[in-house]
Amino acid sequence: MRAASVQTPATFPPFQVSLRRFLMRSLSLLVSGLLALLCAVPALAQEDLRPAKLMVVQPSQDVVSRRFFGRITARNTVDLSFRAGGQIEKLPIREGEFVKQGDLLGKLDTGPFERAVREAQAQLDQAERQLKRVTELGAGIVPQADIDDARTARDVAQVGYDDAVENLEDAALIAPFDALISQRLADRYATIAAGEPIVRAHDMSEVQIEIKAPEILFRKFGEQPEFAAKARLTHDGPLYPLEFRELTAEATEVGQTYRVSFALTTDTPDHLLPGASATVLTEISRADGNGVVILPASALRFAPDGTAQVLVFAADEGDAQTGTLTAHDVVIEPGSGTSFRMIEGPEHGATIVAAGAAMLSDGDRVRRFGGLSDDGGQP
């Protein structure tokens, strides 16, 4: 009789059991590592955001300081002349002399003018007698047309007499204001025509200084910029405040400059004469006072079609340090140095990229750059 056999469970060698445990443990560690890596992805993505230096769009006064060569001028400069022609009989003035209003500057020979007055008086008397004669006869004897002609002749004679008297009075040239006589343009005994200049007179009641400003300043600050100016009359002398007077709105053909006039508003030295030089220090700004937005060149990028753009920063909700960039077209014009003036673009108060805009794109996510220490460097 055969004894029943008893089966025992299979057993693994010791090295197989160790290998199995090692594989299970490794798989568990791998799964745990993947889960940890997935949880860390948002944090890593946030750390990889590129830092960007930002600025707020706001107008600035954009004041420019310039030094100009100035030239002393009078308030008015006039070439005086006689209203009638004749021979100069008197010319009692000297060049460089100051005269008072009402002083005699010159006088013509009055003989021809006096004779012209007597002749005009005679013609007027004759015309009045003729008019009186035909008027007394009346329209019944003298045609009305003859009466009208006589009246017209009397009026014409009256005009001739008035002109002769006025020419006699104008034979004397009188100073119209306190003036500096800079030049005599004719000499005594010379025969001159009506309106021919005799003397050049400067009204020195207000000393002015003229400068020539380049057209680029008016392109930058508008047609009527605001000037704050001071003048130095000698090399190491004091500064005198100036007050803006006028701007010639037509550029010179040579140099394309505009003439700007200032007035000395304080007591000035007595030796100032027209044509003397001065140094004018000016600060020029826009007259409206609103200023313009100044953009550094590093804040600009250009679209493929050449359109200038800035990148507007929109902060994330709950985190003002990070955000998304949006390209915004701008209209610019050259400013001073490497800066540009923004004519059209984002509204005031918008935040834009101030540096490195050319290296960024529309839709990029960035974080606000607050300094070297914020970027892991040394402060």
Q: What is the DSSP string of 69-112?
A: EEEEE-SEEEEEE-SS-EEEEE----TTEEE-TT-EEEEE--HH
Provide the CATH number for the domain around residue 321: 2.40.420.20
Last residue of a domain, one of 285, 303, 319: 285
Are residues 371 and 305 located together in one domain of the fold?
yes
pLDDT at 272 over 60: yes
Quickly count helices (H) and strands (E) in the chain: 4, 24
The better pLDDT of the pair 59, 259 is held by 259
Cα–Cα distance between 225 and 227 in angstroms, integer? 6
State what percent of residues in the chain have pLDDT above 70: 81
Are residues 192 and 94 located together in one domain of the fold?
yes
Are residues 295 and 368 located together in one domain of the fold?
yes
Cα–Cα distance between 313 and 324 in angstroms, integer? 6
Are residues 93 and 190 located together in one domain of the fold?
yes
Structural domain harbouring 164: 110-170
50-52 and 365-368: which strand pairing? parallel
Are residues 55 and 160 located together in one domain of the fold?
no
State what percent of residues in the chain have pLDDT above 90: 52
Question: Cβ–Cβ contacts within 10 Å for residue 173, how many?
Answer: 22
pLDDT at 373 over 90: no
Contact 242, 265 (CB under 8 A): yes
- The strand pairing partners of 72, in sequence order, are 209
Contact 181, 94 (CB under 8 A): yes
Last residue of a domain, one of 170, 190, 216: 170
DSSP secondary structure, 153-220, as one string? HHHHHHHHHHHHHHHHHTTEEE-SSSEEEEEE-S-TT-EE-TT-EEEEEEETTS-EEEEEEEHHHHHH
Provide the CATH number for the domain around residue 125: 1.10.287
Cα–Cα distance between 367 and 377 in angstroms, integer? 16
Task: Please write the tens of the pLDDT for every residue from 309-348.
Answer: 999 999 998 888 999 999 999 999 887 678 888 889 999 8
Would 237 be classed as within a structural domain?
Answer: yes
Tell me, what's the pLDDT at 374?
A: 47
For the chain, how far is it from start to end, CA to CA, in angstroms?
Answer: 98
Q: What is the tally of structural domains in the chain?
A: 4
Contact 157, 72 (CB under 8 A): no
Are residues 154 and 126 located together in one domain of the fold?
yes
Tell me, what's the pLDDT at 23?
A: 64
Structure tokens at 12: 């693994």
Q: In sequence order, what are the residues at sequence separation of 6 or more whose Cβ sits closer than 8 angstroms to the Cβ of residue 305?
A: none
Phi and psi torsions of 313, nearest 5°: -95, 125
Would 41 be classed as within a structural domain?
Answer: no
Provide the CATH number for the domain around residue 194: 2.40.50.100
Are residues 315 and 259 located together in one domain of the fold?
no
| pTM for the predicted model, two decimal places | 0.56
Cα–Cα distance between 225 and 247 in angstroms, integer? 10
pLDDT at 256 over 70: yes
Question: Cβ–Cβ contacts within 10 Å for residue 67, how many?
Answer: 11
pLDDT at 157 over 90: yes
Of 166-180, 308-322, 336-350, 360-374, the range with the lowest mean pLDDT is: 360-374
Task: Please write the tens of the pLDDT for every residue from 199-230.
Answer: 999 998 899 999 998 887 776 666 667 788 99
